Structure 1
Amino acid sequence: MNVEYRLADGTDAQALAELGASTFMHTFGHLYETSDVEAFLQNHSPENWDRELNDPAFEVRVAESGGKLVGYAKLGPPHLPFEPRGEAAELRQLYVVEEMKGRGIAQSLMDWVIDRARDQRADYLYLSVFTENHRARRFYEKYGFEPEGTYAFMVGNHADEDIVMRLKL
Structure 2
Amino acid sequence: METVKIKKTGVEGLEKLQQISTQTFFETFAEVNSEENMKEYLKNNFSIDRLTHELTNPNSAFYFAVRGTEILGYLKINFGEEQTELKDKNALEIERIYVLKKFHGAKIGQLLYEKAIQIAKKQDLSYLWLGVWEENHRAINFYKKNGFMEFDTHIFKLGDDEQTDLLMKLMLK
TM-score of the superposition, structure 1-length normalised?
0.91
| Among candidates 64, 72, 75, match of residue 74 of structure 2 | 72
Match of 2:65 in 1: 63
Q: How does 1:12-31 map to 2 (within 5 A)?
A: 12-31=13-32
Q: Decide whether aligned partners of structure 1 residues 39 and 143 sit closer, same or farther in structure 2, where only a CA change above 3 A counts.
A: same
* 1:100 equivalent in structure 2: 103
Aligned partners of 1:164, 1:44: CA distance in 2, in Å?
Answer: 23
Task: Provide the secondary structure at the position in 1 that maps to 2:143.
Answer: helix
Aligned-residue offset at 1:97 = 0.3
- Partners of 1:149 and 1:118 lie apart in 2 by 24
Report the Cα offset of residue 154 of structure 1.
0.6
Distance 2:48 2:13 in 1: 9
Q: Deviation of residue 33 (structure 1)? A: 2.2
Whole-angstrom CA distance in 2 between matches of 1:84 and 1:66: 36
Residue type of the alignment partner of 1:29: A
Letter in 1 for 2:37: D
Give the 3-state SS of the residue equivalent to 2:120 in structure 1: helix
1:158 to partner: Cα distance: 0.5
Identity within the alignment, %: 30
Residue type of the alignment partner of 2:149: E
**What pairs up with 1:1-169 in 2 under 5 angstroms?**
1-2=1-2, 3-41=4-42, 42-77=44-79, 78-80=83-85, 83=86, 87-169=90-172
Aligned residues between the structures: 167
CA-based RMSD: 1.6
Q: Distance in 1 between matches of 2:29 and 2:141?
A: 18
Structure 2 distance, partners of 1:24, 1:147, is 23
Is residue 73–residue 95 contact of structure 1 (8 Å, CA) maintained in 2? yes
Q: Distance in 2 between the 1:152 and 1:92 partners? A: 14
Shift of 1:19: 1.0
Deviation at 1:112, TM superposition (A): 0.7
Tell me, in whole angstroms, the C-alpha distance in 2 between the residues paired with 1:155 and 1:138: 22
1:150·1:164 contact (CA, 8 Å) conserved in 2?
yes
Unaligned runs of 5+ in 2: none
Q: Classify the secondary structure of the residue corresponding to 1:37.
A: helix
Change over 3 Å in CA distance of 1:53–1:84 after alignment to 2:
closer
SS at match of 2:139: helix
When the two structures are superposed, what TM-score results if normalisation uses the length of structure 2? Answer: 0.89
Once the two structures are TM-superposed, the CA of residue 30 in structure 1 deviates from its matched residue by 2.0
What is the identity, as a one-letter code, of the residue corresponding to 2:32? Answer: L
For residues 116-137 of structure 1, give each alpha carbon's deviation from its aligned partner in whole angstroms, at most 9, with x where no partner exists: 1122222111101111111111
| Structure 1 contact 86–123 (Cα < 8 Å) conserved | no
Worse overlay, 86-95 or 154-163:
86-95
